[in-house]
Amino acid sequence: MRILISNDDGIEAEGLQALAKALAGQHEVVLAAPARQQSGMAHALTVHSDIEAAQYKDLENMGITGWKIDGTPTDCVKLYLEALCEKDKKPDLVLSGINQGANLGSDVLYSGTVGAAMEGYMHGIFSIAVSLDFFSKMPFSEAAAIFANELPKLMEREAEPAFLNVNFPQILAEGEPKFVYGSVGHRDYLNAFERIERDGKLFFHVGGEIYDGYNAMDSDISICNHGRIAVSPLMIDMTDYEALKKYREND
């Protein structure tokens, strides 16, 4: 299988490197990832400046080729698929990650990791975003090996291309990896902006403490909190069909 891997932490990130190495033995792996940190870029696209792309050769000894792209995660996937990829070498799968930090609940709307996978899905390719909780004791290499082993099962469940969000918890329950399908929960942050006054100017730094509130037991947040690996099928059609039906009825 031909696999394109991207991320939002940058092409040198440990999570991406671990995922590439775990899959390279059995698959043809190509990288197209940001030259630098791009977290929180969601599905942003560069439109007012040029995007530099350079060949990435650091893992060529493992048969892994790639592109180091000075753009957003979405730029990387879109540019590779539409401009850099040979016509007869379209990927069978697009992966994004492994991200350093969970992308659970509402974070899927802000995540560059999810944004990169979304771009693959928009091109009709099975796409998966993969993240590891920031406070997890599990090394990226272990998470990558577990994911690589489960990948065939994740893909065989769907007859058509799917868009999945996978999150590894802080600690695996009973020390055993178990993938559980669930919905997207709700996540918010308290004190999200730190006020900073410097040189007579006012600045704000994004941060904050996680506040999840109530989440159903089948939500991705609850699944991870119970030591399971959460898998959430996502979609890009944002139409509110119930509201649309009402508007049409009253038209």
Q: What is the mean pLDDT of the chain?
A: 96
C-alpha 206/C-alpha 180 separation (Å) is 31
Residue 145 · residue 132 · CB < 8 Å: no
Q: Tokens standing for 186?
A: 């709700």
CATH assignment at residue 161:
3.40.1210.10
pLDDT tens by residue, 16-36? 999 999 999 999 999 999 999
Query: What is the per-residue pLDDT for 230?
Result: 98
- 99 known ligand binder: yes
**Inside any domain, residue 137:** yes
pLDDT beyond 80 at 129: yes
Sign of the C-alpha dihedral computed for residues 67, 71, 24 and 115 taken in this order: negative
- 39 known ligand binder: yes
**Inside any domain, residue 168:** yes
pLDDT tens by residue, 221-241? 999 999 999 999 999 999 999
- 199 known ligand binder: no
**Inside any domain, residue 172:** yes
**Inside any domain, residue 198:** no
**Inside any domain, residue 175:** yes
Total number of domains in the chain: 1
Residue 169 · residue 229 · CB < 8 Å: yes
- pTM of the predicted protein model: 0.96
**Inside any domain, residue 244:** no
**Inside any domain, residue 209:** no
Q: Structural domain of residue 172, as residue ranges?
A: 2-184+217-236
**Inside any domain, residue 179:** yes
pLDDT tens by residue, 84-101? 999 899 999 999 999 999
- 141 known ligand binder: no
